[in-house]
């Protein structure tokens, strides 16, 4: 199924349905596949994921093996910070972030898959956290006031979004002046073979939706972010038993010997402290947002 014949809303629905399935899969399967989608590799090793288990705040039940980096490790989160996690899944990065913010901070996870939200809330309830919230929403149009977050994190999610500049502009909007983000994502150098680029499963699997690294960084700078830095970069190799579902032997050999590279990068960007604070309320009026028990924080 070709992704280039699908509308942005159809692509979102493809991702939503796939991640609903993924929420019911085990971590071992997800770690052997491309973000839980695009076929299971018979070689038992992680294709994209980094090991969270040594990080403070890690919760095994919240780790579905869907990430491609450790953005919270690089996010410079301080005690009392308000952190937003985009595409929060079962809550893994939120719980690591909560360890860094402490009980005096706030952590908000946003996800557009209802089963993921339910799973994350269940995990938060087990941990007894009252300063971690999970909210259903589209990260292209976040249900969050402007200028509220100290830090935004995200792990292997922006590559799934059709309109990446819109998400990046939303990150800029919700950050306070002087706030920053740390995001792990998949990017490309060179062009993917058509069979990979056009397949809906590979889109949901983080690969077909990835864009060129240079373009990705340019979108961030165009949104107004400063001090844009790649904090970590690693190559991603797709095992042959997954590639063989899309390419023949000659095409696999050409792909593996060619100039195309798939990379996980963790990127930092900062909103200027001189930026005039402009607070916008999306889906909530000011009274609702600040009322106790409103679920905002």
Q: Write a three-state SS string for 178-202.
A: EEEEEEEEEEEECCCCHHHHCEHHH
Task: Quote the CA–CA distance of 92 and 62 in Å, as a whole number.
Answer: 5
Beta bridge partners of 134: 109
For residue 288, pLDDT over 90 is answered with: no
Structure confidence at residue 278 (pLDDT): 43
Confidence of residue 185 (pLDDT cuts 50, 70, 90): very high
Structure confidence at residue 208 (pLDDT): 64
For residue 30, pLDDT over 80 is answered with: no
Structure confidence at residue 41 (pLDDT): 40
For residue 154, pLDDT over 70 is answered with: yes
Give exposure, 70-105, as e/b (b: 16+ Cβ within 10 Å): bbbbbbebeeebbbbbbbbbbbbbbbbbbbbbeeeb
Q: Provide the H-helix boundaries in the chain.
A: 8-22, 27-32, 71-74, 92-101, 114-127, 164-174, 194-197, 200-204, 213-222, 240-243, 249-257, 286-290
Mean pLDDT (the chain) is 80
Confidence of residue 296 (pLDDT cuts 50, 70, 90): very low
For residue 297, pLDDT over 60 is answered with: no
**Burial of 140 from C-beta contacts in 10 A (0-12 / 13-18 / 19+):** middle
For residue 39, pLDDT over 90 is answered with: no
- Cβ contact 180:270 at 8 Å: yes
**Burial of 110 from C-beta contacts in 10 A (0-12 / 13-18 / 19+):** buried
**Side-chain half-sphere CA neighbours of 258 within 13 A:** 15
The C-alpha angle 84, 80, 281, rounded to 5 degrees, equals 45
Structure confidence at residue 284 (pLDDT): 35
Task: Quote the CA–CA distance of 238 and 256 in Å, as a whole number.
Answer: 9
Phi-psi group of 40: left, alpha or beta (phi > 0 → left; psi -120 to 50 → alpha; rest → beta): beta
Question: Mean of the pLDDT values across residues 128-142?
Answer: 96
Question: Mean of the pLDDT values across residues 249-278?
Answer: 84
Residue bearing the bigger pLDDT, 285 or 274: 274
Structure confidence at residue 139 (pLDDT): 95
Structure confidence at residue 292 (pLDDT): 34
Structure confidence at residue 193 (pLDDT): 78
pTM: 0.80
Structure confidence at residue 145 (pLDDT): 96
Structure confidence at residue 201 (pLDDT): 53
**Burial of 51 from C-beta contacts in 10 A (0-12 / 13-18 / 19+):** exposed
Question: Mean of the pLDDT values across residues 210-236?
Answer: 95
SS3 13: helix
Question: Mean of the pLDDT values across residues 195-217?
Answer: 72
CA distances from 282 to 125, 175, 276 (A): 26, 14, 19
Structure confidence at residue 54 (pLDDT): 77
Q: What are the domain boundaries of the chain?
A: 3-272
Give the domain 3-272 fold.
Answer: Rossmann fold (3.40.50)
Residue bearing the bigger pLDDT, 184 or 246: 184
Beta bridge partners of 107: 83, 132
Strands 261-270 and 226-235: antiparallel
Confidence of residue 294 (pLDDT cuts 50, 70, 90): very low
């Amino acid at each position: 199924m070709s992704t280039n014949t699908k509308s942005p809303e159809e692509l979102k629905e493809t991702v939503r349905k796939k991640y609903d399935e993924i929420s019911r899969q085990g971590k071992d399967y997800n770690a052997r596949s491309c973000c839980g989608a695009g076929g299971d590799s018979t070689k038992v090793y992680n294709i994209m994921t980094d090991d969270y288990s040594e990080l403070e705040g890690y919760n095994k039940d919240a780790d579905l093996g869907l990430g491609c980096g450790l953005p919270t490790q690089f996010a410079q989160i301080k005690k009392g910070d308000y952190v937003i996690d985009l595409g929060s899944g079962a809550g893994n990065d939120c719980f690591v972030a909560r360890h860094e913010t402490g009980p005096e901070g706030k952590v908000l996870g946003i996800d557009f898959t209802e089963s993921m939200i339910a799973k994350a809330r269940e995990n938060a309830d087990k941990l007894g956290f009252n300063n971690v919230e999970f909210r259903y929403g589209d990260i292209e149009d976040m249900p969050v006031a402007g200028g509220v977050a100290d830090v935004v994190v995200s792990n292997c999610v922006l590559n799934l979004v059709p309109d990446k500049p819109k998400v990046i502009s939303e990150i800029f909007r919700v950050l306070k002046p002087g706030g920053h983000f740390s995001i792990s994502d998949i990017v490309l150098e060179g062009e993917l073979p058509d069979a990979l680029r056009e397949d809906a499963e590979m889109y949901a699997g983080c690969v077909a939706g990835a864009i060129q690294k240079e373009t990705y960084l340019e979108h961030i700078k165009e949104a107004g972010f400063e001090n844009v830095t790649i904090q970590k970069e690693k190559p991603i190799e797709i095992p042959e038993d997954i590639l063989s579902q899309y390419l023949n032997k000659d095409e696999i050999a050409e792909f593996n010997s060619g100039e195309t590279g798939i990379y996980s990068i963790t990127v930092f960007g900062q909103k200027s402290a001189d930026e005039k604070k402009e607070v916008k309320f999306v889906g909530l009026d000011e009274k609702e947002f600040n009322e106790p028990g409103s679920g905002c924080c």
